[in-house]
Chains A and B, each alone.
Chain A
Amino acid sequence: IVLTQTPLSSPVTLGQPASISCRSSQSLLHSNGNTYLSWHHQRPGQPPRLLIYKVSNRFSGVPDRFSGSGAGTDFTLKISRVEAEDVGVYYCMQATQLHTFGQGTKLEIK
């Protein structure tokens, strides 16, 4: 399964919303009814950290300005109001069929 993220780079003004798309080459709906699409955020020099799992579930401690949505092959991560700490690279990841990552989207402040 190939995951394609758009855009690859996103300059955003502080306090403004941001949106990242992740499109899968195949449906991510598992035979058990779950959709294993997650989002990870990596700040420069740091390991990734989990933001969203199973499309729309925020991981412990993740601010509610982050939200995930989608189904089948099309998914979106939205940040309602970008803060300075949100800079870095965002990766979508699927685990419906083994594991693969999208190529990453770099979020930077204008």
Chain B
Amino acid sequence: EVQLVESGGGLVQPGGSLRLSCAAAGFTFSSSEMNWVRQVPGKGLEWLSYISSAGTVIYYADSVKGRFTISRDNAKNLLYLQMNSLRAEDTAIYYCARALEAAGTYGYWGQGTLVTVSS
């Protein structure tokens, strides 16, 4: 069974940093493209970042480019999102999502972790 479990969310002050993790199990993580998506509670979905299976190709949404960094550790089956210079508008539920191979979408989503940016 595919499992994606996010962690690392919590309350952080504006301007602060946070690192999210996504633990993967039940599939060959090192062969899977991964993404981070967020959702302001009660609002829509916003794609944030993509990383290829080997970590050599990375893309970001303009809203987080220069502030967020995606990375992965294939030996530990972990996906990361380093978030710096956090703003109130970054408050959201953050999901990791595994790409469905050759389908251009996400076949599996984690349960999400809530990040609250507030003083």
Q: Which residues of A contact B (CB under 8 A)?
A: 30, 34, 36, 38, 40, 42, 47-50, 53-54, 57, 59, 91, 93-96, 98-104
Query: For residues 14 through 62 of chain B, which have their beta carbon under 8 Å from a beta carbon of chain A?
Result: 35, 44-47, 50, 59, 61
* Alpha-carbon gap, A99 to B106, bound state (A): 11
Q: Are A53 and B47 in contact (CB under 8 A)?
A: no
Q: Which of B52-80 contact A (CB under 8 A)?
A: 59, 61
Interface residue from B59, B61, B100, B108 paired with A53 (Cβ < 8 Å): B100
What are 22 A-B pairs at a CB distance below 8 A? A38-B104, A38-B105, A47-B95, A47-B111, A48-B106, A49-B109, A50-B100, A50-B106, A50-B107, A53-B104, A54-B104, A59-B100, A93-B47, A93-B105, A95-B105, A99-B35, A100-B47, A101-B44, A101-B47, A102-B44, A103-B44, A104-B44
Closest to A30 in B: B104
Given contacts A98-B59, A98-B61, A99-B50, contact A50 B105 (CB under 8 A): yes
A-B pairs, 8 with minimum CB distance: A36-B104, A95-B104, A38-B105, A99-B47, A47-B109, A53-B103, A101-B45, A53-B105
Known: A47-B110, A54-B104, A57-B103. 19 other contacts (CB 8 A): A38-B104, A40-B45, A40-B105, A47-B95, A47-B111, A48-B45, A48-B109, A50-B105, A53-B103, A59-B107, A91-B44, A91-B45, A94-B104, A98-B50, A98-B59, A100-B47, A101-B46, A101-B47, A103-B44
Q: How many residues of chain B get a CB closer than 8 Å to chain A's CBs?
A: 20
Partner of B103, one of A38, A91, A100: A38
Contact B61 A96 (CB under 8 A): no
CA distance A38 to B104 in the complex (A): 8
Which chain A residues border B45 with CB–CB below 8 Å? 40, 42, 48, 91, 93, 101, 104
Instruction: List residues of chain A with CB within 8 A of the CB of B112.
Output: 47
Tell me whether B47 and A54 are in contact (CB under 8 A): no
Whole-angstrom distance between the alpha carbons of A54 and B105 in the complex?
A: 8
- CA gap between A36 and B105 in the complex, in Å: 7
B107 contact set on A, CB distance < 8 A? 50, 53, 59
